[in-house]
Amino acid sequence: MSKGGYTAVQTVGMVITVVCAQAAIRSFFDHDARQLWGAFDWVPGGWTGQLIALLALTLVGVAIASWGANRAKTKS
């Protein structure tokens, strides 16, 4: 993959991080709201399960962004 490809991977990771982190923070203030247009309604455990899923996806996004950034640095 080229440096531009790794930059695209980094961008996708950052978008995942921002979207999931924002949804996790918003769920602290409004427990009854449907986060991300109801995409996490299927997660078992109610609000706690949804929060754990959002935080896990946030960490995955951080890992993807970090990996893409590190690989892009080694290409340059």
Region of 36 (left: φ > 0; alpha: ψ -120 to 50; beta: rest) is left
Radius of gyration for the chain, computed over Cα atoms and rounded to the nearest angstrom: 15
* CB-based contacts of 28, cutoff 8 Å, min separation 6: none
* Residues 58-72 pLDDT 10s: 999 999 999 999 988
* Residues 29-56 pLDDT 10s: 988 888 888 888 899 998 999 999 999 9
Under 8 Å between Cβ of 6 and 71: yes
- Which single residue is written with the structure tokens 């109801």? 38
Q: Is the pTM of this model over 0.85?
A: yes
